Chain A
């Protein structure tokens, strides 16, 4: 099954890190990604939420606003797509994602039918 692992963490604390500290986190992510390689079907880091834009269409009119959909204490900063046998296996992998140590990894199973 395909499971989306959404990584939520406080982006303001990320932005306060020194370049060396960031590089250390990137190294942890690279080592997670290479260890879990066979179970990963994708993944990305997202630009900070100040670069987010929100789109709604009502009555045929498109409204575009700056900022993310929801203001939350932690922000969606990236994701992995996990290719696993079960949600338990996804949970084990999720706990190894570096962001799980200071943020939250939300697991969302993909629907079987490929609507998207």
Chain B
């Protein structure tokens, strides 16, 4: 079963770190990603560019409206994600707790819907 691990943290936390601290957390991320890949549970993952580059798109009555910024202004913002393929929710939560940002941010764990017809895709 697949789970999306959504990483929410404050961009200001990153800005507040010294270069050494930031490099340290990045190294932890590389190590975490390597551990996840080596376990065979890694499906996908990305770090996202800062919120200042976010855009929100809506279509109403045939008209496209594009606004700058994310859908929701929250104290912590989505900064990246991993998609994992694991045996249980407990295992997804274990991986989530190992994500470096879990120590200063929040990881939201969301099960992915499996469509019977497309299960082989």
Binding site for B on A (CB under 8 A): 2, 4, 6, 8, 42, 44-47, 49, 51-58, 62, 64, 68-70, 72, 74, 76, 78-79, 81, 87, 90-91, 94-95, 100-101, 103-111, 113-116
* Pair A2/B46 contact, Cβ less than 8 Å: yes
The reply to whether B112 and A44 form a contact with Cβ atoms under 8 Å apart is: yes
A46 with B55: CB separation less than 8 A:
no
Distance, CA A85 to CA B56, complexed state (A): 18
- Residue contact A113 to B47, C-beta cutoff 8 Å: yes
- Minimal Cβ-Cβ distance residue in A for B78: A108
CB-based A-B contact count at 8 angstroms:
151
Contacts of A107 in B (CB 8 A): 54-57
Known contacts A46-B110, A104-B71, A105-B58; is A58 also within 8 Å of B103 by CB?
A: yes
Q: How far is the CB of A37 from chain B (nearest CB, A)?
A: 12
A52 in contact with B44 given A101-B59, A107-B57 (CB within 8 Å): no
B74 and A70 contact, CB distance less than 8 A = yes
Is the Cβ of B33 less than 8 Å from the Cβ of A116?
Answer: yes
- Determine how close the nearest CB of chain B comes to the CB of A77; give it in whole angstroms: 9
Q: Is the CB of B80 within 8 A of A115?
A: yes
25 interchain pairs, CB-CB under 8 A = A4-B48, A6-B71, A8-B72, A42-B44, A42-B83, A46-B4, A46-B112, A47-B110, A51-B110, A53-B108, A55-B109, A69-B76, A70-B72, A72-B74, A76-B6, A81-B46, A101-B59, A106-B55, A107-B54, A107-B56, A108-B48, A108-B54, A109-B53, A111-B80, A116-B45
